Structure formats: structure tokens, C-alpha cells
Homo-oligomer: A and B are copies of this chain.
């Protein structure tokens, strides 16, 4: 009964498939691929208790349609949580979303018409690239160094666009513990970035999925807090600090733009059940944070140890001319292989040797990244990380010697 519909332009071209959690690695292959949270850290019994409380005490709201912006207990929690992080916002700045990814999608729909310029970091988050491609954005890249996005390079792109009579609709950045590069935008660059967005009349999208998970060093100001009610959207998530499976995130937005985001959020609101549950888990009473704060402190211990194990193994086993970033937080480090090697071409050999990773090219809008690869240290226990790195380094060493 074949019937061929006319597809929209965005769907008619080939786009790369998003990763799937279900695609398990072959037996015996250590996956250093996915930025998944540690399943051993899920707070099962606290969630059992919190769910029972939500269903019995707040079931009439948690199981019903709710406000599009988000359930009230969660909004109260977010205001308190952000205040504790130094970000003063009210409920009028908040929109609860299905993970951070829906936040990026909504902001893209708000700003981007087909053909509009969008500036991304190189490398950047694969899901965001997919979202911008679905919107038929015209993608421009700005390279990163060890201190994150380079403002002069960004200004070059903005100036070139202006000279061509165009204006970037948004600059997408992951300033803190970047995915995939593991680097963090330096403090003075944060101010420069906001100033550039204002000068060239564009918006910053600050994807902050990891800032709660800092293992070293002092917190840096959010881009949003450098320009509240101004040129910044902040995209956040509970995926890394509570449970990815709840699909719970939020956008911090200038008050004036929130109603427009609401109009584009046609899913009748993100799960009230998940929102009530996150708030009930976080602590007892409106805006209480103590249980969530304690849980995040535990997570930091777990992930710091894993990061240290992976970096230690790299220091021990990496052949000469391999370099990597040293993340102060988050889930990833980013490797650069010796000249002449190609991380994509090397992957079958690595998998045959019992380790797998995501080659760097996937993280670039316009190619590049052949010598790079991303390693995640979030998902596996330390001994598997060490063994995975050992296998990888042997394969790289052999290839470099050829």
C-alpha cells in the first residue's frame, strides 16, 4: 500500500541519526561514547518515597493537565535553586521543558527562519546541530581553545555577516564544561561574549547542562547573570543531576520573550508528574533544596573520581603527541590524535580491540575534527574507564607507529 507523501524541505534531506541509548555496544567492548549519567547513582528509594507522596498528596495536579510554563512546585524550586547559584529570577523568567533539548528547539523556533545565520562552537553538541539543521539554519562555526570560545574569532564571523547584510539570529554556546570539548569559557571572555551579542544585535543561547557538576576551581558567572532580561537565554536540565529518564529541563528567558516561547510550546506543557516529583524529591516544602543539594554533592564525588581515573589512565598510557583537555567538571574529555591519524578511520580497529568512542567529526557543522574524539567518563566505573583508555591508547600507539 505504498504512498509517497511530499515531505517538507527539512525532512527531505538526509540528517545524521541521533544517538540511541538502546544501541548497546557489542559484548566486551567498553563504551566511552555516551554522556549518560551513572545509573548506580540514581536515588531509587528517595524517588519511591517522593512519588508516593506526590501521587497521594498532589495527584489531582500531578496527573492532570497543568500550566504550560510548568507546575507550580517545580517553578518554586527553580527560583530557589537559581538564587542559590547566584541567579536572581522570578517565575516569569521560567519555562519547564522536556529536557534541555526541547529548550534549544523552542528558542530555535522562536528566532530562526529558513536560511537565517546561526553561530555555533566548533566542536559542539550533536543534538543542537540537528535542531539547527531541522530549522534550515545557515550554520557558522567559531573554534574553541583551552579557554573556550574565542571572542575575536566570533567577532570576525559577526563582522563578516554584517558586511554581507546579514544578522546572526543566535549564538549557541556551552560555556561551562563544554560538550564535547570539556573546556570552560574564561571569565573575561564571558563579558566579551555578552558585549558582542549586544553590539551585533543577536541572542546568546547559554546551554548549561553541567555547571552543578564542578570538581575543581571556583564557579564563573552565568552568561545570563551578566545580562539579565537582555540578550541571553539559558537552557538547563535535570538529566545530569537527578535522572535523564524524567526528561525534565527548563529555560531561563527574558520576561518579555516568555509568552512567545509559551505560544510555540504546543505540547500542552511538560509532564506535571515529573515536575511535581522533582520538586518533592528536592526537599520538604516549597522551594526546599536540601535533598537535591546533598544528592548533587554525592554525584560530584562519584564523577570527580571517574574523571581522575580517566585522566590518570591517559597520563599513564597515551602515546606521544596525543593531547587531551582537562575538564574541571561535566562528563567529557576531548582527545587530539597525532598528525596523520583519523579518529573515524581508527574506530573499527578500536572496537576490535574492545573499546569504542565518538569520532570528533560528528561534532562539527562543516566537517573537520578528523584528529579528534570524545571520551565520556560519566557512565562507567573507574576500572572500566582505565581499561578502556588503555585499549584505546594501544590502538592509537600502533597506528601512529605505522
Contacts and interface: CB of A to CB of B under 8 A. Distances in A.
A243 B109 CA distance: 29
A103 to B, nearest CB: 10
Contacts of A6: 111, 167, 169, 201
A320 to B, nearest CB: 36
Interface residues of A, number: 92
A247 B263 contact: no
Given A63-B42, A198-B3, A230-B1, A113 B9 contact: yes
A325 interface: no
A244 interface: yes
A308 to B, nearest CB: 24
Contact of A229 (B1, B198, B254, B260): B1
A102 interface: yes
Contacts of A1: 227-230
A268 B18 contact: yes
A39 B18 CA distance: 37
A256 B5 CA distance: 11
Interface stretch (A54-62, A175-183, A329-337): A54-62
Interface of A: 1-3, 5-11, 15, 17-18, 20-22, 34, 36-37, 39, 42, 44, 47-48, 51-52, 55-56, 59-68, 72, 98-99, 101-102, 104-105, 109-114, 116, 127, 130-131, 134, 167, 169-170, 198, 201-203, 227-231, 239, 243-247, 254, 256-257, 259-260, 262-264, 266-274, 276
Given A8-B111, A61-B245, 10 more contacts: A8-B112, A17-B263, A18-B268, A21-B269, A63-B244, A64-B244, A98-B267, A243-B273, A246-B273, A273-B274
